[in-house]
Chain A
Amino acid sequence: MKHKYLRNVVTLKLNEENCTGCGMCVNVCPHEVFLIKGGKAHIIDIDSCMECGACAKNCSFSAIEVKAGVGCAYGIIVGKLTGTEPNCGCSDNDSGCC
């Protein structure tokens, strides 16, 4: 069963003019948001985007824009309380880094 989250909230944007159809976004996307058709990438399932930022980071033509971050309520709460960016809370007591 495919998981579905809230609709029409994602910040993902594709600038087709810059796109060369190299397919890197298709390779790195974990949720099949993109499809290459007619030599260009197309967003075919924007509501499945989780804003991980992999596509934008790996687009060497700067054709993709997304406000990447962790979709983690706990991280957002901790971020709000400490005045930092929402950060995944899973390494709070990280002893490895001082």
Chain B
Amino acid sequence: MDESSKCDNQKECCCGSTTDNSQCCIDSSIEIIVSEESWVTGRVSTPIGEILQVSTKLTIYDKIGSWKARWGINRMNYKINPGLYCVENADKMSPILVTANYKLSFDMLRKELSGINAWILVLDTKGINVWCAAGKGTFGTYELVSRISMTNLSKVVDHKTVILPQLGAPGVSAHEVQKRSGFKVVFGPVRASDVKVFIGAGMKATSEMRKVKFNEYDRLVLTPIELVGTLKVSLMVFGVLFVLNLFSSNPFGTVDFYAYIGALLVGCVLVPILLPWIPGKAFAWKGWLMGMIWAAGVNALNGWPLNPEYSLVRALAYMLILPSISAFYAMNFTGASTYTSLSGVLKEMKTAVPAIIISAAIGGILLLMATFIPNI
């Protein structure tokens, strides 16, 4: 095995903690083969040994698993073993489709392959989806080339072509892979649902298949994880407010609670869903705008400005704090979106981050005044 030497050359190698060099970093994250998994339908024998054959149907377990991952439950460990898998009755001429070892990515691919004889080559992306992993380089040239040689792919098939999802391209250099492995990389469609048509058309992708979309549903499924991400901070905020309440003359109450939750929902759910329809381009701006509407709504609900239940100071504090919260979380959605550039986000943050901090700080001071100074 020359894997340990490869391992030594790899800077990101993670086997530093285990001094045993015979165990390469690439394999260190691999769990025991679980052939009793519900998605395994059998085994086929090949020149490189037995290969697991996988189902093209998703079971309730797969669906529950996807749902949990979307809500951040065990999301970072929702992965399968890298390596080669067989779909239907793949033979020496069958196409090889490459994907990530995030179970959700693997499921999205295999469920589109009913009636197609194909091989799936799963790369070790540490359980991250294709696009994100390509951005990090784990779905990359090095991993693909070493996976091709580790699985002895050239013994399994009589051709020299691997099909990659197009979104793997930021990490994989097709000409480098060909140079190093002899395998030609063909970039397939963006979406797994187009794979069947792509193969049927002689591995030709239409321009429609090449385009990334980001429709309402795509955005909606990303919102749970955004919300889950705010839980920890929110609990801390509630903790601090609870302690402050012990000393205050006008304690924090229901209004503060729903005002805050509302601002979170605006930034994490409403802005992502309404994204293209909210005027403006910067995400933080979109969040600020919607947060401002929410703040005005909260104040109006409490009779402001005609017959306010609380002081002008508190009303002003809401107008400063709530839009900042929404703006911050909307800005964070740039990472989930499919069209923001690093340069663009940096430019947006240059204005947004100081504005958010200043606005939230002044608002926070006003809110403390309203809470601690009687009759203000």
Contacts and interface: CB of A to CB of B under 8 A. Distances in A.
Contacts of A52: 134-135, 169-170
B16 A3 contact: no
Interface in B223-259: none
B307 interface: no
B190 A90 contact: no
A77 B347 CA distance: 13
Interface in A1-53: 1-7, 9-11, 24, 26-32, 48-53
Interface string A62-98: 0000011111111111000000001111110111111
A49 B346 CA distance: 15
A71 B169 contact: no
A97 B169 contact: no
Contacts of B353: 77
Contacts of A58: 169, 172-175, 187
A76 B349 contact: yes
Q: Which of B77, B127, B170, B275 has the most CB of A within 10 A?
A: B170
A97 B212 contact: no
B335 A90 contact: yes
Contacts of A32: 207, 210-211
B361 interface: no
Contacts of B166: 27-28, 30, 54
Contacts of A72: 334-335, 340, 345
Interface residues of A, number: 51
A97 B345 contact: no
A70 B132 CA distance: 9
A5 B341 contact: yes
Contacts of B212: 30-31
A27 B205 contact: yes
A7 B134 CA distance: 25
Contact of B135 (A67, A70, A94): A70
B341 A96 contact: no
Given A3-B275, A32-B211, A53 B345 contact: no
A23 to B, nearest CB: 11
B76 interface: yes
Q: Which of A3, A11, A32, A96 has the most CB of B within 10 A?
A: A96
Interface string B146-186: 00000000000000000000110111111100000000000
Contacts of B342: 51, 67-71, 76, 86
26 contacts: A5-B341, A6-B282, A6-B348, A9-B347, A24-B174, A27-B169, A27-B210, A28-B166, A51-B342, A54-B166, A57-B169, A57-B170, A58-B173, A70-B342, A71-B337, A71-B340, A72-B334, A72-B345, A73-B334, A76-B345, A89-B335, A90-B128, A94-B127, A96-B29, A96-B126, A98-B16
